[in-house]
């Protein structure tokens, strides 16, 4: 009884003094929004200081990290208050008070609902702003229903009991968020993860299933009172809980499907993995006149750019007019005429899938400029590949970087085949825009997942050259670095590399070999998941893309540029490039973002929501090129752990080629630049010593030497020819 007395006194204090203002519902909403922002910013600040791995996250990962912290705090707050009103307070008692339960409310109950409305509004804004990265359409529907129901109940005072019953379902949110944090920390197979999973299931069963059954039973018992509500109130009581109940029952399955997509995107699992499908027909309507567009694309000068003596261009090429799909390109002509012969045209593609060739290739690897630490100014890359060729960077597919589609469903149709077709249509149109490059020797280069893009585009070009009985594009060769070539050997080689470089124990590697089957379409065992998840933890403190390289611990830009070095790659370069390419004056100078995208430019796409096809191997395409006289070079930075040198060697070994020139060192400036082996059929494999996944970033001078020799069709210098 004493506890009840204190409870009543506290309620009277809040009701008669603190919450007596009639504007409380509205100030509560503003307070909820303010609390959202406060917790979000504090989480970001705390995580930046106390979690080293946080600084290595992509921007959208940091956003989700902080967003989940806010949703956890809100869930704890609203769960406690909902449990209090439903099971402890006398406000909705059938015995304590006279009058209809459906109309009962208090200043405190209204204030609490106002805070919750403020949270849902702020969270809904985040979901829309970053759509679909923080949640798909089911999240939009969930939040719209929640906002409508809670706001109506708050403003009218009707049905607050049922509103609080529904809000108890937020009980599951902290556990779901903890699961995400543990997964992000590589603790998916830990005891804590297992216990948390059990807690989530129990909470979900009680709060999202059994409690909803009780709610509908309570509505049945008080049906006479429900009928006296306004029609909107009746919808609140009947329809909203019913829709949310259905969503609750399907939520688990939707979460699993979303997880499968991200896993498929990285592991080529759960998507079409058969042979690459030849693009037999390209609609001639996709080839458009390009008269006058070249000069419109000319970039006079990039903001913060040093003086240069070459021309540069940037702009869009439409690849599907009916869908409004267009790809962005950045083109730099060669520095100077190095000889009487015109230099070739070289296309560069980055991988992902979904990562930008403008972000990595142009601004961090082989382009003519690098971005200073102030995110405003540029400095020269003296080892730019436009010393050796006219270099074209393409952001592909649509949804990557500045490339876009006016048909949003296009982003659900992304895959290797769509990417190859659009890239081919782009090239044919681009050559119409730049007719002086028609007939010029053409080479395709790229890294990582471009191990798919490059051969698939090359195959499409060859096929349509034959189909048209003429040389539409004068393809001479391809060169791919640290490339995804063959699913099975790529993954097997990665774990062997970890073991050979003392990153994991021999015992762990033996477990991987015993329990993991990386062959196409093989299922992954629980034991394989357990050991690989355990291994993954080491890369929260190491950069898998450069195992001996430094990590970025400071995401902030500097007021003045730090002393820059082309030789010593800055691991925080992603942040500088992100800031630079999101500057309005930069986008205007580059003729980019002309449609005013509803999201920031990102180095890797947050827009592409599906990847439909990804063949498990591209080896047959490499063999096709060799039989057609197309030069094939494969290179590998030897400190990359993601697609390491062992993976590439294993993949090439599957081709069972005869060796033309045995394994030996190649040299640059009297030092070993790496090692190489040449095979019959014009395939060259070369390593680049001291380079990570992005070879030109870590070893720009050696990378330039590599591309010079590739384009020239000459072998890398051996012990008798140092340069």
In a domain, 718, yes or no: no
The position carrying tokens 């094939």 is 632
pLDDT, residue 146, reads: 82
Question: Which tokens is 478 given?
Answer: 């391809």
Question: Which tokens is 111 given?
Answer: 């204030």
> Are 449 and 301 within one domain?
yes
Active-site residue, selected from the candidate residues 693, 697, 705, 709: 693
> Are 37 and 110 within one domain?
yes
In a domain, 318, yes or no: yes
Lowest mean pLDDT among 190-199, 480-489, 647-656: 190-199
> Are 259 and 292 within one domain?
no
Model pTM score:
0.66
> Are 465 and 327 within one domain?
yes
Q: What is the CATH number of the domain that holds 334?
A: 3.40.50.1820
In a domain, 535, yes or no: no
> Are 388 and 263 within one domain?
no
> Are 237 and 290 within one domain?
no
pLDDT at 421 over 60: yes
- Mean per-residue pLDDT for 425-438? 95
In a domain, 534, yes or no: no
Per-residue pLDDT tens over the stretch 468-488? 777 789 999 999 999 999 999
CA 433 to chain centre: 32
- Mean per-residue pLDDT for 5-25? 55
pLDDT, residue 255, reads: 38
> Are 261 and 294 within one domain?
no
In a domain, 578, yes or no: yes
Domain limit, last residue, from 218, 241, 267: 267
> Are 88 and 181 within one domain?
yes
Per-residue pLDDT tens over the stretch 615-643? 999 999 999 999 889 999 999 999 999 99
Residue 448 is among the residues annotated as catalytic for this protein:
yes
Helices 450-468 and 619-627: angle between axes, nearest 10 degrees: 40
Domain limit, last residue, from 217, 238, 267: 267
Residue 58 pLDDT level (bands cut at 50, 70, 90): low
Residues 6+ apart with CB under 8 A from 530: 189
Rounded to whole angstroms, the Cα distance separating 321 from 440 reads 27
> Are 424 and 395 within one domain?
yes
Active-site residue, selected from the candidate residues 410, 422, 543, 640: 640
Domain limit, last residue, from 233, 267, 301: 267
pLDDT, residue 265, reads: 37
Rounded to whole angstroms, the Cα distance separating 703 from 384 reads 9
In a domain, 494, yes or no: yes
Query: Measuring CA to CA, which residue among 312, 288, 285, 630 is closest to residue 473?
Result: 630
In a domain, 564, yes or no: yes
pLDDT, residue 257, reads: 34
The β-bridge partners of 661 are 678
- Mean per-residue pLDDT for 388-393? 97
In a domain, 22, yes or no: yes
> Are 302 and 249 within one domain?
no
- Number of domains composing the chain: 2
Active-site residue, selected from the candidate residues 448, 605, 616, 697: 448
Query: Measuring CA to CA, which residue among 548, 456, 536, 446 is closest to residue 491?
Result: 536
The upper half-sphere exposure of residue 483, i.e. CA atoms within 13 Å in the direction of its Cβ, equals 31
> Are 618 and 669 within one domain?
yes
194 vs 550: which has the higher pLDDT: 550
Tell me which residue range forms the domain holding 25: 2-267
pLDDT, residue 94, reads: 62
> Are 360 and 483 within one domain?
yes
Dihedral sign, CA of 281, 282, 283, 289?
A: negative
């Amino acid at each position: 009884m004493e506890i009840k007395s204190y409870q009543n006194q506290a309620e009277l204090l809040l009701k008669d003094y603190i919450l007596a203002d009639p504007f409380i519902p509205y100030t509560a909403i503003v307070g909820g929004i303010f609390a959202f922002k406060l917790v979000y910013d504090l989480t970001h600040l705390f995580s930046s200081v106390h979690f080293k791995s946080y600084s290595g996250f992509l921007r959208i990962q940091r956003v989700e990290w902080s967003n989940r912290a806010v949703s956890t705090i809100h869930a704890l707050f609203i769960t406690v208050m909902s449990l209090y009103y439903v099971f402890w307070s006398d406000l909705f008692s059938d015995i304590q008070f006279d009058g209809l339960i459906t109309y009962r409310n208090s200043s405190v109950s209204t204030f609490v609902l106002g805070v919750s409305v403020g949270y849902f509004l702020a969270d809904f804004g985040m979901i829309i702003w970053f759509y679909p990265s923080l949640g798909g359409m089911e999240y939009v529907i969930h939040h719209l229903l929640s906002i409508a129901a809670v706001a109506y109940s708050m403003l009218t005072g009707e049905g607050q009991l049922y509103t609080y019953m529904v809000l108890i379902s937020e009980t599951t949110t902290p556990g779901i968020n903890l699961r995400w944090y543990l997964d992000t920390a590589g603790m998916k197979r830990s005891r804590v993860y297992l216990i948390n999973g059990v807690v989530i299931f129990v909470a979900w069963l009680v709060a999202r299933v059994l409690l909803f059954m009780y709610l509908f039973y309570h509505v049945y018992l008080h049906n006479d009172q429900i009928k006296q509500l306004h029609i909107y109130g009746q919808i609140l009581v009947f329809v909203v809980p019913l829709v949310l109940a259905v969503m609750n029952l399907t939520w688990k399955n939707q979460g699993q499907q979303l997880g499968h997509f991200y896993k498929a995107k990285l592991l080529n699992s759960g998507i079409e993995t058969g042979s690459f499908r030849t693009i037999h027909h390209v609609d001639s309507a996709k080839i458009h006149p390009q008269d006058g567009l070249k000069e419109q694309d000319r970039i006079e000068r990039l903001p913060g750019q040093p003086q240069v003596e070459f021309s540069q261009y940037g702009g869009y090429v439409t690849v599907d007019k009916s869908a409004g799909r267009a790809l962005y390109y950045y083109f730099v002509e060669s520095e100077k005429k190095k000889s009487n012969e015109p230099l070739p045209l070289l296309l560069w593609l980055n991988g992902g899938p979904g990562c930008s060739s403008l972000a990595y290739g142009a601004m961090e690897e082989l382009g003519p400029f690098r971005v200073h630490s102030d995110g405003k100014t540029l400095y020269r890359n003296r080892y730019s590949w436009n010393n050796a060729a006219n270099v074209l960077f393409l952001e592909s597919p649509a949804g990557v970087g500045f490339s876009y589609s006016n048909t949003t469903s296009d982003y659900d149709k992304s895959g290797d085949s769509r990417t190859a077709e659009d890239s081919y249509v782009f090239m044919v149109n681009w050559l119409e825009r730049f007719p002086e490059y028609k007939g010029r020797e053409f080479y395709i280069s790229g890294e990582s997942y471009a191990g798919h893009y490059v051969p698939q585009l090359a195959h499409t070009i060859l096929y349509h050259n034959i189909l048209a009985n003429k040389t539409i594009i004068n393809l001479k060769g391809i060169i791919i670095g640290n490339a995804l070539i063959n699913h099975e050997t790529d993954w097997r080689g990665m774990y062997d590399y970890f073991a050979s470089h003392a990153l994991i124990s021999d015992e762990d590697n033996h477990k991987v070999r015993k329990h993991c089957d990386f062959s196409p379409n093989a299922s992954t065992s629980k034991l394989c998941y357990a050991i690989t998840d355990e291994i993954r933890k080491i890369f929260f403190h190491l950069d898998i893309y450069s195992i001996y390289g430094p990590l970025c611990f400071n995401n902030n830009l500097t007021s003045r540029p730090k002393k820059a070095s082309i030789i010593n790659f800055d691991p925080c370069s992603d942040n500088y490039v992100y800031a630079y390419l999101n500057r309005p004056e930069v986008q205007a100078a580059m003729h980019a973002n002309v449609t005013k995208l509803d999201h920031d430019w990102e180095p890797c796409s947050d827009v592409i929501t599906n990847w439909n096809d990804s063949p498990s191997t591209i080896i047959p395409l490499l063999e096709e090129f060799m039989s057609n006289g197309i030069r094939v070079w494969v290179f590998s930075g030897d400190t990359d752990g993601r697609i390491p040198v062992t993976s590439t060697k294993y993949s090439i070994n599957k081709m069972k080629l005869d060796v033309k020139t045995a394994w030996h060192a190649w040299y640059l400036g009297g030092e070993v630049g790496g090692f190489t082996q040449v095979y019959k059929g014009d395939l060259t494999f070369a390593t680049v010593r001291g380079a990570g996944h992005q070879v030109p970033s870590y070893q720009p001078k050696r990378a330039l030497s590599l591309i010079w020799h590739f384009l020239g069709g000459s072998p890398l210098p051996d012990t008798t020819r140092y340069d």
